Amino acid sequence: MARTAGAMVAPGKGLLAADESAGTAKKRFDTIGVESTEETRRGYREMLFTTPKLSNYVSGVILFDETLRQSTRDGVNFGRYLEQNGIIPGIKVDAGAQDMALHPGEKVTEGLDKLAGRMEEYFRMGARFAKWRAVITIGDGIPTQACIDANAHALARYSAICQAASIVPVVEPEVLLDGHHSAETSEAVHLRTLETLFHELATQDVLLEHVILKASMVVSGSRNANQAGVQEVAERTIRVLKRTVPAALPGIVFLSGGQSDANATAHLDAMNRIGTMPWPLTFSYSRALQHMALTTWRGDAAKIPAAQQALAHRARMNSLAARGQWSAEAEKPA
């Protein structure tokens, strides 16, 4: 697990989150006029995973259960294909966020039942890390401490089950950017959430040296007219992390959480320019890596090379950001 965790956050590399459920995949395919079937999803994943030189920038890929069981057109299982090409296969294992009883507007993530058996199967199938996402919503009177406690406890139990199966847990307590809240409010909620999470991880005897945090950034609510600038987001996010995340963690990867491609890259770059951190800071993006590739592809096999070029470009930009070396100039075509 130590080797896996270290490789996941190797300098200049990050994770490609390709763990969208069939429902989420359908929503994305609807935007480009492509029917979401098992075969179209398989073809799209193959386009992503076979991108030339992807391993230069991507250390691991988070897969959905369906995808881990699929193969390339040549019959090579996707997990095996990634491993053969220097990329670590991972797996999303939670069963999604459900309404929390007696807590209107709040969610708790389910999926702990029989998880130990599933983990053993995933390990045999080649997965070496896993991911569990919790959802924290900011609104009128929320999040409650009960919601934060419930999700942190589930994340900690999941992490213990992962480590018992020799799988590195990625813990993702996502504070949603939806809402009218300020960056200051977001910072306070992030602080509470991460304090609670690491208390629960300690209570469950989880080895922090074998845990990766997938964190959201301290941004203003998407419906707030006063959006925090890039530097403010970076400073607030780093302040929260330094106050809550133990130095024992091998690294922190960020989710894009609905940010634009450019903002996700700029924020990551700004954080890495602040100075030396106790942990590497890199990316674990889904939409912010895939969007350009998806809209270029549009289900047309003839456009696969151009779509792969788009993915490689965004991966390279975020690789630069993970080193604090990105600039708007780098975005321009060579």
Structural domains of the chain ordered from first start? 2-331 (3.20.20.70)
Q: Whole-angstrom Cα distance, residue 323 to residue 27?
A: 33
| Residue of 326, 194, 172 lying closest to 256 (CA atoms) | 172
- Give the predicted TM-score (pTM) of the model: 0.97
Q: What are phi and psi of 300, to 5 degrees?
A: -100, 115
* pLDDT in single tens digits along all 334 residues of the chain: 999 999 999 999 999 999 999 999 999 999 999 999 999 999 999 999 999 999 999 999 999 999 999 999 999 999 999 999 999 999 999 999 999 999 999 999 999 999 999 999 999 999 999 999 999 999 999 999 999 999 999 999 999 999 999 999 999 999 999 999 999 999 999 999 999 999 999 999 999 999 999 999 999 999 999 999 999 999 999 999 999 999 999 999 999 999 999 999 999 999 999 999 999 999 999 999 999 999 999 999 999 999 999 999 999 999 999 999 999 888 987 5
Among 13, 92, 107, 214, the active-site one is 214
DSSP state of 329: G
Contact present, 89 and 126 (Cβ < 8 Å): yes
Query: Helices (DSSP H) in 69-221: which residue ranges?
Result: 78-84, 115-124, 145-164, 183-203
CA 73 to mean position of chain CA atoms: 27
CB-CB neighbours of 145 under 10 Å: 9
DSSP H or E run through 303: none
Contact present, 190 and 240 (Cβ < 8 Å): yes
The reply to whether 214 belongs to the active site is yes
Single-letter amino acid, residue 173: P
The reply to whether 26 belongs to the active site is no
Among 106, 172, 187, 235, the active-site one is 172
Q: What pLDDT shows up at residue 333?
A: 72
Q: Whole-angstrom Cα distance, residue 281 to residue 270?
A: 11
Q: Whole-angstrom Cα distance, residue 271 to residue 267?
A: 6
Chain length of the chain: 334
The CA radius of gyration of the chain, in Å to the nearest whole number, is 19
Residue 278 in tokens:
């106790």
Q: 276: exposed, middle or buried (C-beta count within 10 Å: 0-12, 13-18, 19+)?
A: exposed
Residue 184 in tokens:
């200051």
Q: Integer distance in angstroms from the first to the last C-alpha of the chain?
A: 39
* Pairing of β 58-63 and β 88-92: parallel
Q: Whole-angstrom Cα distance, residue 57 to residue 224?
A: 34
Q: What pLDDT shows up at residue 334?
A: 59
Q: What pLDDT shows up at residue 332?
A: 83
